[in-house]
Structure 1
Amino acid sequence: MSADQESVFDEYRESVDRPLYRLFTAYGRDVWEWFALGMVANVVARVGSLLPPLVLGAALDSIFTGDSPYTLPLVPASWLPATDPAQFRFSVIVITGAFVSTAVFTWVYGVAANTFAHRVMHEVRTDSFEKMQNLDMAFFDDKQTGEVMSILNNDANNLEVFLDNALQNSARLVVMAVGVLGIMVWLNAQLALVMLVALPVLVGLTAWFMRVVVPRYARERANVGHLNTRLENSLSGVELVKTTGSEAYEVGRVRTASKNLYDATMAVLRLNFVYRPGMELVAGLAFAATFAIGGFWLFAGPPRFFTGTLSAGAFVTFILLTQRIVTPLAEVSNIVDQYENAKASSERVFGLMDIPARIRDAEDATELTDVDGDVEYDGVTFGYVDESRRDSSANQNAERSGEEDEVVLEDVSFHANPGDTVALVGPTGAGKSTVVKLLLRLYDPNEGSIRLDGHDLRDVTVDSLRDAVGYVGQDTFLFDGTVRDNIRYGHFDAGDDAVVEAAKAAEAHAFIQELPDGYETRVGERGVKLSGGQRQRVSIARTILQDPPVLVLDEATSAVDTETELAIQHSLDALSEDRTTLSIAHRLSTVTDADLILVVEDGRVVERGTHDALVDEDGLYAALWDAQTGDTRALEQELLE
């Protein structure tokens, strides 16, 4: 997927309304007390940091120069000491107390704000992952793992930075701006106007930055996902890359994705290169103007347009407070930067959460119990949906027409009585795997129905259905863990003896015992430390442990040698003896005893019957049988015709 292509995340992201407000309302309510404590502590800490300059100015004018009485804003004169020594001691105590209180409440804020931020992000990550787990297989057919990982990691981290830093700096900016300007106006309203003149310029510069940077942040986040996808794909397919000598090609693809991210990031940074220095320049010029006008006023009298007097203490307070407000004003760029980054990330997070899950339990879904294994496909037609064409507005559950989707199965019907074995054979890509995946309700048919014990699959709970149907696929996946953990996966409370018995039934016990740590041997990511046949036998053991009434075998012995296949097939025959089995077979010799064989071609069942009957029909099945048993004349004749 190129950086210019719109993904399903982008489609739903565009419809997310007020994402940061939604973040607080959806996830902040349960931990609001931490947020409130942090904000109060932050305000107290910032107010405390304003006291030392104010007290210093009052002490300078009253104690050291005697120009004016000792006064503090909002403090009655009767509460203040009357003598110089007492005023000095009071000033020392207040200044010391202010620094101590600032440190203490800054610590309280740090604990509260970080607890709030990390609790929220923990919930966002886990909810996003849970949502991803509950999405349909159609979503994963169309989407890329790297892009999902970008949302779970990068975007979630951006939100965490915003909750940790941007909120703290925003609160500090508000308190400092209001407090500093209030004190300045109280001390000398005319000189305070010098700083106030800079505010419209700062606001205008910020408004311009926010308007221009938003689409650039969206492109940057999208390119992060594209790069993650490219890296994930290249690393997952490293064996193919090396065996085909395609290292340079993959490096080129990663280089292109990285360059796209570089360009998108630089587009954001170029704005920051103007905005951040611009904010600092305006704030710095305001400080310089305050110093110049105040200093001239102090030693030469009020400049033009100014009247009255300015004391040395008031001037010193102005200079100290102006320096304190310059840093928060300059950090407006960081706040806006983090805000816009978090906004773009939260749109992607909630865009993922808003993607509807179409395979879900009906409101009155039935729990399957005591399943006999009666399976019936009735006129099933199915086509994979192109997610990029889905309408994300009103009708999320609308059926897609066959003309719009890629039709994979058409009018498939058959019936398997409890205990029957139904085999599906046919050319690669004929739709055999899709037939059995519909039984697990990884997808829903576009037309027709599938019934288990007379229940339409859409009317039963998904969990009870998948507990009743065991699946062994041709693409075996093992998690990075022990052999025992992988056999037990899905039935985590199974005892060790049951695990061993399942391994024996799958002809896996012998090779497991020869592993360095036996059942406690770690198999590596995707089971890379085991051979293909070993991984397949572990997968079969996992299904045997499940002991399902319905068994699905999707070329379950495709990754093993002939000798191992015979051993496993013997176990599978015993396993499927008393349960309904749907078996996809590449080697027709493994299904000759099936109760019903379906020959699938181009998504349709073109032949059906027992092995002997199909051979006698001299059709496609007979040709495939002859090809596998060494007699190719019938196949050649069919090809000539």
Structure 2
Amino acid sequence: MTASGSGSNPHAPDGANPAAATAHAAGPPAPGPERQADWSALRRLLPYLWQYRWRVAAALAFMVAAKLATVSVPLLLRELVDTLAPPGGPNRLGLPEAGVALVVLPLGLLLAYGALRFCTALFTELRELVFAKATEGATRAIALQVFGHLHELSLRFHLQRQTGGLTRDIERGVRGVQSLISYLLYSIVPTILEVTLVLLLLGLKFDLWFVWITLAALVLYVFFTVRVTQWRMELRRHMNEAESLSQSRAIDSLLNYETVKYFGNEAYEAQRYDQALEGLRHARLRTQSTLSLLNAGQQLIIAVALVAMLWRATEGLLAGRMTLGDLVMINAFMIQLYIPLNFLGVLYREIRQGLIDLERLFELLDSQREIADRPDAVELRLARAPEIRFEDVHFGYEPEREILRGLSFTIPAGQTVAVVGPSGAGKSTLARLLFRFYEVGQPGRAAADGTPAAGGRISLDGQDLRSFTQASLRRAIGIVPQDTVLFNDSIEYNIRYGRPDAGPEAARQAAQAAHIHDFITALPQGYQTRVGERGLKLSGGEKQRVAIARTLLKDPPILIFDEATSALDSANERAIQAELRSVARNKTTLVIAHRLSTVVDAHQILVLDQGRIVERGRHAELLAAGGRYAQMWALQHNGAGASNPADPHPPPHEPGDEHGHQMA
């Protein structure tokens, strides 16, 4: 896959702005639907956890047990303190201090205190251990679903996306799933349970002032945290957008390393990246300053509440209504509540951020597939090479720009048809329509009655392409593209990608047919040599031969050669052309070419110009006609060896012709 940030793509819709599209998609929702979107995201997350419902129930049981043990610790501490300070006053037994402790302090209380401390940690760890499988399973399921859905989206979506921003959205979304599951079940629910238990104990054992002080502190704390965090979330969104922008610019620049070097634009790329980093720095500084404000406000609320509680407890102690153990217990309760409450602000921020990230992930899942299988689509099963027919095909990437204008032609079963013409005539679009990367017609174009405008049809053996499943259709087609992009893996992996279940020997046979076996075996690591990002460690001709080997290994009944030898030198091209002609025998083949010498043996040649067929026939017939094809032939060969225009055999290639695109 290639990024679309720098460098134009002739097949991208006009006026497409990937950065704007990404920013718009990641922009903040309106305040009204925001909470509704949060609940929607949580509802959509629940089915992924439902399959682990027994683990969820067990984890909740361990969580309740851990909180009961936690709340019991201050109660036991109260008993210990009161036992150490008996009503009779100081030591009246005349025993040493250690002896008094052993006599007065029941050993059972100490053991119980230690046991409760241990149980708190034990139940907490058991909860996490039991629920870990549910968390990781749900995360894996969502990530896999998003990954699969992205592969199902149309080529139009991937031409408009930015790789860096998209991968960041997926990464943050998956991390958001883990955060939501972890924080909601590990922190929010236990904290609510602990607060409820503490309020009940305070209300039952002491006067209601303790309950009101605690409730007031909680309400004020939550209100302050929510309001400030909601304000901060807007800043956080801007920071995420700035982070995605900087990431996209860095990845895009590195992917286009050679282009940057060709034009000496290292300083320009650094300046663009620095602009993105400066925006990110400013956004992070604002986020950090508001975080400091939030933390300071939270600490103030907690401190005031703690002072009020201890003042009330001290007053009760002096009045004789409470014991020293009660004072210690209340202080312990407040300290225990203080820790999760202090963390509650962080939890709320992380949960809100997780919801935003999860929402973005579900937005990717909700992205509509432009090309979808019909409900009654059937598997394409071919016993032989089929006939392909284009019938009055109209197509445009945008409503305002028509690429193909009523195109009609037939590729008979087992024959080769070549399409030639100037750049932008719509040649490569034919391959994309055959693969159903796009549907015939134009997006947004509708007839007068509002129904979609007819765009013709493409058929295989008389059946519309749309009646077959996309997967089975693409299994039946092999392509050698002009711009070959390889996976950052070994050469053998890239060749076997044409048929992953093929063995190493089959890959070597395909490499021999593509005349790249000798080159590979001469490498230090042979077939295990890694090709680098997008295959950049290989030359253009080497990449193209790997692509040819990959397609030969796939061995489909339909072949598409889109400038399949444009990056090869003349000697290799002649050898591979002979191999391709042999492979294409008895297969239905579409050849897209600029260099006319590569299509002289085609059963039929179509000359395409501005989306229309202006000439058609065999090589000798078109030369004899003296039309556009003959003019193109003469221009490409400058009269060298072409004194007899009816000669079907091409003259020798001129030096430099190995890169193709010699047409004026």
Same fold? TM cut 0.5: yes
Q: Deviations over 1:45-87 (max 9, x none)?
A: 122122222112134335623399xxxxxxxxxxxxxxx9698
Give the whole-Å Cα distance in 1 for the aligned partners of 2:546 and 2:20.
42
| TM-score computed with the length of structure 2 as normaliser | 0.84
Give the whole-Å Cα distance in 2 for the aligned partners of 1:459 and 1:335.
51
Match for residue 388 of structure 1? none
For 1:174, the aligned partner's letter is: I
Any conservation in 2 of the 1:13–1:347 contact (CA below 8 Å)? no
Runs of 5+ unmatched residues, structure 1: 69-83, 302-307, 386-401, 635-641
1:606-621 to 2 correspondence within 5 Å?
606-621=614-629
1:238-637 to 2 correspondence within 5 Å?
238-299=257-318, 301=319, 309-369=321-381, 370-385=383-398, 402-403=399-400, 406-446=401-441, 447-631=455-639
Any conservation in 2 of the 1:470–1:546 contact (CA below 8 Å)? yes
Any conservation in 2 of the 1:114–1:164 contact (CA below 8 Å)? no
1:97-136 to 2 correspondence within 5 Å?
97-136=115-154
Choose the corresponding residue for 1:49, options 70, 80, 83: 70
Match for residue 233 of structure 1? 252
- The verdict on how the C-alpha distance between 1:201 and 1:56 changes in structure 2, with shifts beyond 3 A counting, is same
Q: Deviations over 1:298-354 (max 9, x none)?
A: 33x3xxxxxx72221111111111111112111121111111110100111000001
Give the whole-Å Cα distance in 2 for the aligned partners of 1:2 and 1:460.
32
- The verdict on how the C-alpha distance between 1:196 and 1:549 changes in structure 2, with shifts beyond 3 A counting, is closer
Give the whole-Å Cα distance in 2 for the aligned partners of 1:355 and 1:498.
39
Deviation at 1:129, TM superposition (A): 0.7
For 1:466, the aligned partner's letter is: R
Q: Deviations over 1:377-404 (max 9, x none)?
A: 011111125xxxxxxxxxxxxxxxx34x
Deviation at 1:200, TM superposition (A): 2.6
- The verdict on how the C-alpha distance between 1:594 and 1:351 changes in structure 2, with shifts beyond 3 A counting, is same
- The verdict on how the C-alpha distance between 1:411 and 1:3 changes in structure 2, with shifts beyond 3 A counting, is closer
Match for residue 163 of structure 2? 145
For 2:124, the aligned partner's letter is: T
Choose the corresponding residue for 1:197, options 216, 227, 242: 216
Runs of 5+ unmatched residues, structure 2: 1-16, 90-101, 442-454, 644-664
Give the whole-Å Cα distance in 2 for the aligned partners of 1:276 and 1:50.
26
Any conservation in 2 of the 1:272–1:333 contact (CA below 8 Å)? no
For 1:417, the aligned partner's letter is: P
For 1:610, the aligned partner's letter is: R
Any conservation in 2 of the 1:47–1:175 contact (CA below 8 Å)? no
Moved more, 290-299 or 243-252: 290-299
**Percent sequence identity over matched residues?**
33
For 1:443, the aligned partner's letter is: Y
Q: Secondary structure at the match of 1:384?
A: coil
Match for residue 80 of structure 1? none
Any conservation in 1 of the 2:27–2:237 contact (CA below 8 Å)? no
| TM-score computed with the length of structure 1 as normaliser | 0.87
Match for residue 60 of structure 2? 39
Any conservation in 2 of the 1:23–1:346 contact (CA below 8 Å)? no
Any conservation in 2 of the 1:375–1:452 contact (CA below 8 Å)? yes
Q: Deviations over 1:589-623 (max 9, x none)?
A: 11112122111222222222222232233333222
Q: Secondary structure at the match of 2:137?
A: helix
Q: Secondary structure at the match of 1:558?
A: coil
For 2:525, the aligned partner's letter is: D
Any conservation in 2 of the 1:38–1:113 contact (CA below 8 Å)? yes
Any conservation in 2 of the 1:371–1:468 contact (CA below 8 Å)? no
